[in-house]
Amino acid sequence: MALPLQGIRVLDISQVMAGPFCCMLLADMGADVIKIEPPGTGDSTRHSMGFRLKGSDSPGFLALNRNKRSITLDLKSPEDREVLYALVKTADVLVENARPGVAGRLGMDYPTLKAINPRLVYASISGFGQTGPWSQRPGFDLIAQAVSGILSSNGFPDMEPAKNSIAVADLGAGLFSAYAILSAVIGRQTSGEGQHIDASLFEAALALSIWETTELWGTGKSPTPIGSANRMSAPYQAVEASDGWFVIGAANQGLWLTFLKVLGRTELQDDLRFATNAARVTNRLALMEELAPTFLTRTREEWIDALTQAGVPTAPILDYGEAVESEQAVAREMVQMVPHPVEGEFRALGFPVKMSGTPQEIRLPPPLLDEHGAELRRELVEKGLLKHATRKETV
């Protein structure tokens, strides 16, 4: 059975994380993703990070660009722009992440390309969106986390601001863009026309702040850092056993009562400060002061075994090395070996959702720079969309 997006062509004119991540998700589902890169340098992520495997492309680039083909185009060159326009005629989707206004100066903005292909779904990913007083500001994940409120609510009280080490703004923008692209492609079946998608890191970060904005509007106060705790449930956080930390999640009344039985602290169910979840959230610090001495009486493994057997959610705190080698990650095939013409093989994260009828697959390794340039130009010539290859073909 064909992959669900087979027959959909995506032009990936993006760099670094949000756009490439979005396009890789589409590629994993079967889309033909053509990565259009600047000659000579390519995607700047090819040269990022302070370590390498065997080749010159960074592991960061390798992680974000599987299942794509690469062609280099100088979009300031009229000749190469003609190649882009020929590709646009064959495309369903285009993703770009230039600062607003740059695409217009390069002759690849939505109005220009819509005139060439009215069915084109054109996604722009930027720091702050195409409109508004901040639209011309440069935007990275850190900047978006700062102005969206994430930094103000992350970490621990009275400490320096803590960024979420996961690039939630970048990756969130990529995920939201993929969702919008697929919605637009489905909508095009009825309307016959594509549309412009305007996504931003700022809005992605803000949109993911569901609990934090709920607390703001519910209490009238901006959320402050609470470490590993949860804003809507308690106890729901990391706790310290006699030999280190683990996490618990007694997130409803039934779990709370079971949790107290396992701890041997059933007297706390009669304490009005902790009688309901709302009360426990309000008095979370007092609750943890009550529970802390109890947790110190047993090891992490003892507590995890006892709580798990009783049905209370709990887990050890694994580092990434432990997480990717865990029996669950192995069973779910969350580490894939990717073949590569230079690296030989390298490890990459697997597919985060499983498809029963059309399981995703690694069809192509992350491309070398301009690896498919000659191939793609020949395709365009054969389709009558390009008169001749405008650059010397590469192998």
Which residue numbers are catalytic? 170
Q: Which two tokens stand for residue 342?
A: 């230079």
Distance CA 268, CA 273 (A): 9
Collapsing DSSP to helix, strand or coil, 240 comes out as strand
Helix (H) / strand (E) containing 217: helix 210-219
Q: How many CB atoms neighbour CB 310 within 10 A?
A: 13
Cβ partners under 8 Å of residue 233, min gap 6: 249, 250, 251, 252, 277, 280, 281
Distances from the Cα of 368 to the Cαs of 35, 40, 67, 71, 372, in angstroms? 10, 12, 12, 9, 8
Q: Which two tokens stand for residue 327?
A: 């029996």
Closest CA to 88 of 112, 63, 62, 70: 112
DSSP 55-99: SSS-HHHHHH-TTEEEEE--TTSHHHHHHHHHHHHH-SEEEE-PP
Residue 198 backbone phi and psi in degrees, to 5: -115, 100
